[in-house]
Amino acid sequence: MPTTPIARALLSVSDKTDLVPFARSLASLGIELISTGGTARALAEAGLDVTPIHEVTGFPEMLDGRVKTLHPLVHGALLGRPDLEDHVQAMDEHGIVPIQLVCINLYPFEQTIRREDVTDAEAIEQIDIGGPSMIRSAAKNHAFVTIVTSPQQYDEVIDDIRRNDGTSSNDMRRKLASAAFTRTANYDTAISQWMSRKEDEPFPPVLQVTGRRSRILRYGENPHQRSALYTTPGDGAIQLASAPLRSGKPLSYNNLNDAAGALALVNDLAIVNRDQIAATVVKHTNACGAAIADAATDAFLAAWEGDPRAGFGGIVAMSAGIDTELANTIADGSRFLEVIIAPSFEDDAVEILAERWKNARLLEVPGIGAIQPQAPTIRSIPGGLLVQEPDSIIADPTRWSHAAGPAPDDALLSDARLMWIVCKHLSSNAIAVGGSGRLLGAGTGQVDRVGACSLAIERAGEALSTLECPVAASDAFFPFPDGPALLADAGVRCIVQPGGSKRDDETIELCNERGITLLMTGVRHFRH
């Protein structure tokens, strides 16, 4: 389809990132700049010749900016087809001059509604009307109009125009139009979901999940499975998918999945241990090491010693930044790590770790230890989606009940809380055993709770006998006292569990008889 050089461009943006360089490039190609409100002021202040939109329409911007571009001289200029004679005659008759490029990004509605203190009136004023209208008009007529909706597109658009003698290629216009319709669809979905929200109903009638493809991954969980990484709009939560990679190869599907598990655990530990450093070692999303300590090196070493064999090829997450001392400690010995996560890395620490493991991924994730908003979890099933609120309950021993055995002191409660948090992040059925600020053994993913107890004891090994007061945590209640009896026989002196079994009295009786402190949390933490 024949195209004509781009002669006029309409620019109206809320996000003015790289606006001036983009507009300057357009002007250097002889393209007339038309603009609105704050965008026009920014361009004029940068020394660019710009035609205000009211000089095109003959009407002032009005109603507090609600009406600027909703005019036939704008939309006719975007929708008119120069290849149709009747369109050309109508445009000439009504003084409509074609616009061949539109650059628009929308009012920041999504960002506005994420503010905790936002009012309905503030949110409503950030619902863009003219912007989506122009985007859709330009995208519909993409055979003749180039529609730009993101600063990330600026460079490729300018390069394409220069390569094509002042116009844009058909492929580029179609690609941009697809992105434009995706943007308006996502924008309208955000508005719809916000408008339909109810205080007592966390799930919208229609669920729209929006993700932007970040990159194609080498493969999924297995080499025969294709996979990709999509990023979701930021909501103030810790951002793993877009976290900077300080060194190493790109993360794989399994790396990212395991990193999410390590990050969730270390974040929970850091929230409740603000005066100490938390460290975790994770393999296949399950902790094989976890510890808290006053010093970062002590925390790492205690976590690694939990199960060094399982930790080989695993992922380490720290709640503190990694300096040269900690980097040297991590790099020492025969360890092998796939990923290391921390809020920050000193440059020298990056060099130390990169020299030790050329391909190890060093992932910088700020915000660890802060209580963050969390998105619902979504799982696909044949014919549908399962959606649930995240398991975001923070362990609080002051809310637990002391059901049997000796009363716990502060040190025992600290270890009980540590094991309870670790257990929350294990695959069910799960038992975590440890003490003195660290995990010793985890029984994960078992189909019966006695089996989980046996596995946790086995993995803890002889180290269990070195503890003065070993603690065990169970992610769900014990249906029978056989699991607690097995733990007691192994030397466990404190058990933390939700309670709620019809046979709780049998477990309570056992613990009283064996002098075991029994704490009931009233909260179950299944994880599948």
Kindly tell me the burial class for residue 13, based on how many C-beta atoms sit within 10 Å of its own C-beta (0-12, 13-18, 19 or more).
buried
Among the listed residues 87, 140, 175, 402, the single catalytic one is: 140
Name the 3-class secondary structure at 493: coil
Determine which one of 16, 87, 284, 402 is catalytic: 284
Helix (H, G, I), strand (E, B) or coil at 179: helix
Measured CA angle at 228 (ends 184, 389), to 5 deg: 70
Q: Which residue matches tokens 């929708």?
A: 79
Per DSSP, the three-state class of 273 is: coil
d(Cα 209, Cα 201) in Å, to the nearest integer? 18
Confirm if 205 and 196 have CB atoms less than 8 A apart. yes
Q: How far apart are CA 404 and CA 507, in angstroms?
A: 9
Closest CA to 411 of 456, 366, 468: 468
- Rounded distance, CA 527 to CA 301, Å? 27
Respond yes or no: is residue 358 known to be catalytic: no
* Sign, Cα dihedral of 137, 142, 143, 144: positive
526 C-beta neighbours (distance < 10 Å), count? 13
> Strand, coil or helix: what is 329?
helix
d(CA 41, CA 48): 10
Give the C-alpha separation, 323 to 99, whole Å: 55
d(CA 456, CA 98): 72
Is 198 catalytic? The answer is no
Question: What are the beta bridge partners of residue 206?
Answer: none
Helix (H, G, I), strand (E, B) or coil at 243: coil
Catalytic residue numbers read 140, 284
